[in-house]
Amino acid sequence: MALGDTILMMNKFLAVLSPRLQAILKLFRENGQCITLADIGTDHAYLPIAAVQGGFCESAIACDINAGPLKIADKNIRGAGLAGAIETRLGDGLLPLLPGEADCIVIAGMGGMRIWGILHEGMEQARQAGLLVLQPQHDTVLLRKNLHSAGFEILDEVIVREVVGGREYFYIIISARYVSGDFSWTEREYFLGKILLSKGGEDFSAYVRCEKEKIEAYISQIRDETALSDAKKSLALLKEIDARGF
């Protein structure tokens, strides 16, 4: 492939990354050197392609549980001229990896408890990775608590704000690593993220307001008294944070 074609292909894959995926790349670069990236649930392998092309890592393993997307991933990898640097593997979660094979593992776009299930089933792979970058779609509080319970330190968190089709979405991205430590945050810190609370910022304020509106709408539909009590506590906390502003 000619140099001009290679540059065009590189720009193509970097360009198709959403702000969410671009933030994931930035986060694992900021948290240390990555030699081999494992992208779990890679779909079409856009993230590992952009990571290798952009110099974020030297090589990558693109894993997916579904054969169809992995075939497209193979085609994209070959088209980018990276067949020697990126390998695709069919399998569930971290099970296609050997412990220590990947020093950076990305699991993005799944529920927090699904992410935790993947980590729990492949605990040795998770522990031996130098860095985990996780992007839960929901159940973020439970993911934080489970990471701490298993001895993983939460290194950083960022909020990404995207507008798709006129609708606003917020994504929380967590970086963590296993240190066999004991951690204890307050319920408030687990609920909104201790690191996010310390950072504040415009996107965090917008995220708090969005969550507040969601819970207000949810409360009007709740019939279970325990769930209603929990929702009201969460709403009170969000109102307190919103009133403070950042």
pLDDT in tens, 152-172: 999 999 999 988 888 889 999
Average pLDDT over residues 49-70: 94
Amino acid 7: pLDDT: 41
3-state secondary structure of 31: coil
Task: Give this prediction's pTM.
Answer: 0.90
Domain 3-190: CATH superfamily is Vaccinia Virus protein VP39 (3.40.50.150)
CB atoms within 10 A of CB 202: 10
The answer to whether residue 179 scores a pLDDT higher than 80 is yes
Q: Domains of the chain: which residue ranges?
A: 3-190, 200-246
d(CA 225, CA 223): 6
Average pLDDT score over the chain: 90
CA atoms 157, 135, 119, 145: torsion sign: positive
d(CA 125, CA 99): 4
